[in-house]
Structure 1
């Protein structure tokens, strides 16, 4: 079974395909083209996680729980209208914190009600730890929320694993600790997710990969999610740098590596369809997945505008026309990339595959210069096909590396298992240094569709004709 979130979309029921078609989190294909907005209206949380620190005004950090501005429901609705007019590819509104959407039900559902009134074309989503999920099923159905994200890190009924992740929960007006807290949380998560499936609500389950705690257990989580009917499983590596101030970070629990994430994805992908294009977005993220335009849309940009004025700026007809053009372009890409995506066992005729890194600014094209890249898309490729693995961020752009240091070294550290880089342009100096490290940098596929180019470049790397013979 493929680990890709997009590989089996062609075989999904039509109603499911329609739900996810322009949702950048649920469709790997859509995330190249459609944007999302998160509004930070939910500050409170009803559980404590050892990997979480809900920070306010941290514009330089891109991770869950971080925001630069908290909004009221009215402010959030105004921001959505302003952004929707400027970013016409925006298709989804999500409430993802900085706490828990359902620990702040009044603010969450008031926001959704206002947005539904003025921006009826947007998909509405929320993220939750699941503790109160079962409580608010009816409200979610009432607001036509048919996509949700639930963070679930353990299905261990004893509470042994969960108690290492969650110090406490707040449930039934009291704080509960240890294994009992973990057991109650799991029971409530499973109950809520089952009710969502019964109501036709698509669930993306997030699991934080914590080496030494739940890494070996996550395949069991995937099995349980499949049993329940969860749509998509997202394995997120723990972000645990000391400056983040989380309990795990302060205790010396390290961030998960790319290789650890790939290993766990491989194990979980045998049972569940995985999301592999997640960027672990901020609570106030704006734009395409992988970019953050939030700083462009602060409160002062919409505070003096009325809803009538903002609805004119939103311009529903112009948005529909812009998204129709996106669909035309996606059709072109689908034709170019046809038959390229493969199941893992079909990638290669002889079992030999390599990892390929791609630089892209979006649109499903190889359209970014190596010198300005902040993250790479990673593919596994053989002579017969490719599959998307995940993305990898780098600390600094090559052209903005620290003075007095080799700007390529941090990038090499993240790409040590990569054999081939496809980029729109690269200078002779970094290209030579990459070659010395055993990495081929190829710019001959600039501004071409990513997936078709990955296969062609890989076949060229193997000294084979770029085009496969048609049987």
Structure 2
């Protein structure tokens, strides 16, 4: 059976009243996608971004359960878990289903939602209902295959790849069929619409009216974010004035979500306070395996951090390095060294050789660099200078101890 609409009062994405009371947790267990949107670039290893399709790590269902247990201990107002990629939840159905079953074993009362492009809804919607998934978000950008041909590069369906209006037509038909089935079985459906000026903006009121007829509960009209490396990377971002004007126009047909943050695929916490970098599972597991470090030779470690609390910056996006020195468990901050960012985009994070050379000179006296993410080329150049690169995404304090352990291990080899 489907779930009661009253449950929506605890879902921050479906309810304006809930978004400052209840926390959500996205579990990134679905890396694969079965369509290619011209506005999408799922480079989920470029971790300083906050947009759909981005995550710091991909989890197995078992790891997702471990992370859920950890987050639930720390966040009392966690009300919902969702699977929103970084690909498509239904293109990774086995992982999605197993994750939901494991979470439900731990907490039968937690709300469960998923996001999908809708291509595989006709195939899996009976199982979605059977699993008790209460909320589903479907991204529907148009109703006409000719418009869809301008939005989608290809659609992979039942072992074949379709392009143009043919591929878009299959996607749109499955979306409408799936929404109808979900809504008819008590699942609360939110429809996301990416507003792309000159392509589908004039058509959005028709989309809203149609999904209302199919049973959608709410629509979320979102601005185009021109992701670097995507087909639409040079398109202008849709203005919020245009978005709000369209929401006001469509409000008469369906309630409009106005508090969307276009979250990452691993977002955790309140909608306006993403805490995903506090709960990076791979680094928590590494910490547990590290023995306490006895006092040793002092080492100097350069850290990339926004505010000095978390290791939460990509090496190429750091405007300064925090230089710590210490031995054993104790470290102190020596100085902050400003530098120029060399990674200026998502697609070519290792292309700015001259800037990188200058950065390497800035930290040439350090034994290690502690950073959330670093490209292969930069790692190689650091290694040539005798500097160890250590990836991490938890607190600076714990990261320094972890980096020191890595240094000790490398010296023993």
Sort the Cα spacing of 1:305 and 1:85 in 2 relative to 1 into closer, same or farther, 3 A.
Answer: farther
Inter-partner Cα distance in structure 1 for 2:287 and 2:103: 15
Inter-partner Cα distance in structure 2 for 1:267 and 1:55: 34
- The equivalent position to 2:196 in structure 1, one of 210, 213, 223, is 210
Q: CA deviation at 1:139?
A: 1.5
The one-character-per-residue Cα deviations of 1:275-324 (angstroms, maximum 9, x if unpaired) are 11110000000110022111111124653899xxxxxxxxxxxxxxxxxx
Inter-partner Cα distance in structure 2 for 1:221 and 1:277: 20
Partner of 1:394: none
Inter-partner Cα distance in structure 1 for 2:94 and 2:286: 24
Sort the Cα spacing of 1:105 and 1:305 in 2 relative to 1 into closer, same or farther, 3 A.
Answer: farther
- The equivalent position to 2:222 in structure 1, one of 213, 236, 249, is 236
SS of the residue aligned with 1:109?
helix
Q: CA deviation at 1:59?
A: 2.4
Task: List alignment gaps of at least 5 residues for structure 2.
Answer: 289-337, 339-413
State the TM-score, normalizing by the size of structure 1: 0.59
Q: CA deviation at 1:142?
A: 2.2
Partner of 1:271: 253
Partner of 2:276: 294
Partner of 1:184: 170
The one-character-per-residue Cα deviations of 1:179-210 (angstroms, maximum 9, x if unpaired) are 00111110010011111011111100000010
- The equivalent position to 1:72 in structure 2, one of 60, 65, 68, is 60
- The equivalent position to 1:245 in structure 2, one of 222, 229, 233, is 229
The answer as to 2:123 corresponding to 1:139 is no
Inter-partner Cα distance in structure 2 for 1:19 and 1:298: 29
List 4+ stretches of structure 1 deviating above 3 A: 300-306
Q: CA deviation at 1:138?
A: 2.0
Inter-partner Cα distance in structure 2 for 1:305 and 1:30: 35
State the TM-score, normalizing by the size of structure 2: 0.67
SS of the residue aligned with 1:273?
coil
The one-character-per-residue Cα deviations of 1:82-113 (angstroms, maximum 9, x if unpaired) are 10110111111000000000000000000000
What is the aligned residue count?
A: 287
1:78–1:302 Cα contact (<8 Å) kept: no
The answer as to 2:212 corresponding to 1:226 is yes
Partner of 1:421: none
The answer as to 2:241 corresponding to 1:259 is yes
Inter-partner Cα distance in structure 2 for 1:175 and 1:290: 38
Inter-partner Cα distance in structure 2 for 1:248 and 1:102: 25
Please provide the CA RMSD for this pair: 1.8
Partner of 1:423: none
The answer as to 2:152 corresponding to 1:163 is no
Task: List alignment gaps of at least 5 residues for structure 1.
Answer: 1-13, 307-402, 404-471
Partner of 1:201: 187
Partner of 1:45: 33
The one-character-per-residue Cα deviations of 1:123-164 (angstroms, maximum 9, x if unpaired) are 0110000000111122112221010000000012xx111000
